[in-house]
Structure 1
Amino acid sequence: MTASTAAEQALQALRQQLGAAVFTADEVPARNRNDYSGLAPTQPLAMVRPADVEGVAAALRICHAHGIAVVPQGGLTGLCGGARAQSDEIALSLERLVGIEEIDPASATMTVLAGTPLEVVQQAAAAAGFFCPLDLGARGSCAIGGNLSTNAGGNRVIRYGMARDMVLGIEAVLADGTVVSSLNKMIKNNAGFDLKHLFIGSEGTLGIITRTVLRLFPKPASTMVALCAAEDYGTVLKLLTAARNGLGPMLSAFEVMWPDYWDMATQKVRGVRNPFAADGRSYGAYVLVEALGTDPAQDGPHFEAWLARLLEDGTLPNAVVSQSLADEKAFWGVRDACAEFHQLWPGHLAYDIGLPVVNMDEYAVRCKAALSAQLPGCEAVFYGHIGDGNVHIVAYQTGVAAQPKDAADDIIYGLVREYGGTVSAEHGIGTMKRRWLAHARSAEQIALMRTLKAALDPKNILNPGKVI
């Protein structure tokens, strides 16, 4: 049977089984032809939009029988090309699998369908008196299933962990349409292999997540935010230790901005102000510290006393503490100003890497110098979730028709390998980082990944060409 015949037979079977949920050729909506990676749009063979888990299973059974590749799609906010379906592949969108199925106050869990936007999950948790700590800039668009398939991180990893740390149960559909459901609500469950971890972080290459049971947490009753100036990176490390020791479990974010990032954010992004402008000097680093507490009467004074000690003993040269919700938003606005950098550097190159915390500043200095020396006119800024080992880099070369991605990748990922870091801290591998996977994983690890892939998807129909 030829490939075209197999495709036609698969499409016919899909139409018979799923009817109007199947879109072919020009019927495929424009939004399903790309993700947020910046790569060129594609033209999938078809797009399937099942209404339930049974529809997902039926679609996979048909595609498996005919050897047609399937690319799962959630909110399409991924940055690594992991949700782009090619001309001989079928995009399987989970956008109709939405809804909060249950909130169990006794077990502090939520059972939710995979296509549900993260912000809906957050709002439902809040309405029930709980807190969903997973938070990303794309919260209004990204789907919880996609968050889990890429093991998303975000701003509060230092306290609550990555996405996988918030999951108790998973339902997933395998390549052949088999539904594996383990909607466990128990934190302690050591009955054999913990299979949910096969699917979390594997980017839809081992199975498609359709439901999940999430852990919920107590809703914070108080929020404290401070912006701290540091003389150098050594001071940043002292501050991190002091925050862990002095704030304990209240510490929820520790965001560091190097001076190049700070200057760009506060001087060039409209609406962002520099709270240290009055002292007329620059510092070696800037740190946003956030703490979440449960006792408003005590948490604020404790936080301010902790910060005051660091100012009094000379650890910090300057700091400002939020006094209102407007202050909190303004402080976070400096850290989130990176979302506007595309207006200043159109088509800029963005990187998400992980490094040992102690090496981050040395890496930033060497990386910035190497980019400037090897790519004349290339500027770079550094910032990130330093408390959990994650650095973001934005690079841009002026005066060129196209940004030198391959050359910049060589420099940035080459240094990552030298420092024993990872080429992806929280955004996955997809297609864009696949060639660099060996910089962060050993040959033995990659071989084991391929063994798992071959065992669960022997026909290689689930998101082929992604990750490994």
Structure 2
Amino acid sequence: MTLASPAAVPQPLLALRESLGASAVLFGDEVPQRNRNDWSTQPPAHPLAVVRPVDAAGVSAALKACRAAGLAVVPQGGLTGLCGGARPEDGWVALSLERMVGIEEIDPASATMTVLAGTPLELVQRAAAEAGFYFALDLGARGSCAIGGNLSTNAGGNRVIRYGMARELVLGLEVVLPDGTVMTSLNKMLKNNAGYDLKHLFIGSEGTLGIITRIVLRLHPQPGCTLSALCALPDYDGVVRLLGAARGGLGPLLSAFEVMWPDYWQVVTERVGVRDPLTGSARHGHYVLVEVQGTDEAIDGPRFQRWLESLMEEGALADAAVAQSVADTQAFWALRDACAEFFPTLGPHVSYDVGLAVKSMDAYVRACKAALAVRIPGCESVYYGHIGDGNLHLVAWVPGLSVEQQPKEAMDEVIYGLVREFGGTVSAEHGIGTAKKRWLGHARNPEEIALMKTLKAALDPLGLLNPGKVV
């Protein structure tokens, strides 16, 4: 069935196709399946068209055409989002940046890289490494996600504790506004206080205020060595003390602090089948992966070893394993990243990304696990996260139920209700999209939400750019 015949397509889109080329503007059944949804669990949509420009001028022309036709537009990058932010609705236009890929410049003097927004994160990382630099943003979808999408959701990832969120890695942007205006602000300077820092309007706004097309990224020196240890602790108080000791004893070397609760540990070692690198069979209260990035292994290796030994002598650690090779480090991270294997192991489940004060996390976990079990008989849940930067992940499921049968609404009410009670956030690094829009008020007060709506109305008065998302 043809979803949109030429006769049903507004004239501005037909003219856009003439201008950009037939391969850049696809209608109806021509729209690829990938452009009909992101990684959220919502059903695929039927957009009127997908537009695939190659530069900011093409993005501008597309937005002007859609504005003339009164059509809603959803920006799309790698489509790896989990909250529906890049999912179109039926009859919308999907504006995909999939052809805007490439490294425009690496400036060694300013330690910056200028890239097109559709460039995959892994390509950015590799280009930085080949130039002798390090791009610090890293997450599991690195091979698929696009850097523009990473910025639109202010992605976090594994090393926020040292390098910060995505917004800390950006110096300049080129953005196309909803009316088609191209705002070019490709700043390379760390210090630039000439008026409002406009880039922060668009980073984390999930494509509702403008479409990011080019980016100046901040690079760091390549680490001379990476060292890691897997630590077992008797309780959460010990985890908090270990975090303080790592900050104080390792300083800027500390690059990751990943915590796994015992329910998560049991699932990944016994059900997923990841090897337990710790000695003995004792179960512990918590497990922590500590990673440092140094400049010289001959200096930083012994320092890291002495730090761990002092903790063992003090009785702060119940057990520990130190990586002796790159393979060991990868094996440690395999435990933390085993959540990617949960679907074939656990079956259908629901994943959550929340933020809480570090001191409150264990109390939240205990309250949440108990409340889920009471509200939803048979519900199981496991907990893990970055912790050092206040980010907790959890997975909840009722065994034997399909994806559609999982009681997600009841889970949401318990999980986000407790987030509000504990003064946390319903989204630490995945964004709001449509999936969490209902719960935005649990993390933002009415005055904050009103200002968000004011900004949206000012930049997109017709409400055509990703409408209905975030606020």
TM-score, with length taken from structure 2: 0.97
1:12 equivalent in structure 2: 14
1:179 equivalent in structure 2: 182
2:276 equivalent in structure 1: 274
What letter corresponds to residue 298 of structure 1 in structure 2?
A: I
2:3 equivalent in structure 1: none
Among 461, 466, 469, the alignment partner of 1:463 is 466
Greater alpha carbon shift after TM alignment, 33-42 vs 286-295: 33-42
Contact 1:385 1:391 in 2 (8 A): yes
Q: CA deviation at 1:9?
A: 2.3
1:42 equivalent in structure 2: 45
- Output aligned runs, 1:194-343, within 5 Å: 194-270=197-273, 272-276=274-278, 278-343=279-344
2:391 equivalent in structure 1: 390
Q: Secondary structure at the match of 1:145?
A: helix
What letter corresponds to residue 35 of structure 1 in structure 2?
A: D
Greater alpha carbon shift after TM alignment, 336-345 vs 392-401: 392-401
Contact 2:172 2:199 in 1 (8 A): yes
Gaps of 5+ in 2: 1-5
Q: Secondary structure at the match of 2:268?
A: helix
Contact 2:348 2:401 in 1 (8 A): no
What number of residue pairs does the alignment pair up?
A: 463
Q: CA deviation at 1:6?
A: 9.1
Q: CA deviation at 1:346?
A: 2.4
Q: CA deviation at 1:420?
A: 0.5
1:124 equivalent in structure 2: 127
Gaps of 5+ in 1: none
Question: Partners in 2 of 1:226 and 1:400 — Cα distance?
Answer: 37
Contact 1:224 1:291 in 2 (8 A): yes
Please give the per-residue CA displacement for 1:163-220, whole angstroms capped at 9, x wherever unaligned.
Answer: 0000000000000110001000000000000000000000000000000000000000
Contact 1:67 1:461 in 2 (8 A): yes
Question: Partners in 2 of 1:174 and 1:290 — Cα distance?
Answer: 40
Contact 1:6 1:66 in 2 (8 A): no
Q: CA deviation at 1:13?
A: 2.4
What letter corresponds to residue 223 of structure 2 in structure 1?
A: P
Q: CA deviation at 1:338?
A: 0.4
Question: Partners in 2 of 1:10 and 1:393 — Cα distance?
Answer: 46
Contact 2:136 2:163 in 1 (8 A): yes
What letter corresponds to residue 300 of structure 1 in structure 2?
A: G
Contact 1:7 1:68 in 2 (8 A): no
Q: CA deviation at 1:7?
A: 5.2
1:96 and 2:106 equivalent? no
Among 422, 425, 436, the alignment partner of 2:425 is 422
Q: Secondary structure at the match of 1:446?
A: helix
Q: CA deviation at 1:5?
A: 9.1
Please give the per-residue CA displacement for 1:1-50, whole angstroms capped at 9, x wherever unaligned.
Answer: xxx99952232222222221111111000111111112111111110001
Instruction: State the identity as a percent.
Output: 68
Please give the per-residue CA displacement for 1:243-262, whole angstroms capped at 9, x wherever unaligned.
Answer: 00000000000000000000
1:350 equivalent in structure 2: 351
Please give the per-residue CA displacement for 1:387-436, whole angstroms capped at 9, x wherever unaligned.
Answer: 00000000011243510000000000000000110000000000100000
Contact 1:423 1:439 in 2 (8 A): yes
Q: Superposition RMSD on alpha carbons, in Å?
A: 1.1
Q: Secondary structure at the match of 2:242?
A: helix
Question: Partners in 1 of 2:19 and 2:369 — Cα distance?
Answer: 55
What letter corresponds to residue 335 of structure 1 in structure 2?
A: R
2:195 equivalent in structure 1: 192
Question: Partners in 2 of 1:10 and 1:150 — Cα distance?
Answer: 30
Q: Secondary structure at the match of 2:303?
A: helix
1:27 equivalent in structure 2: 30
Contact 2:61 2:180 in 1 (8 A): yes
What letter corresponds to residue 201 of structure 2 in structure 1?
A: L
Contact 2:10 2:69 in 1 (8 A): no
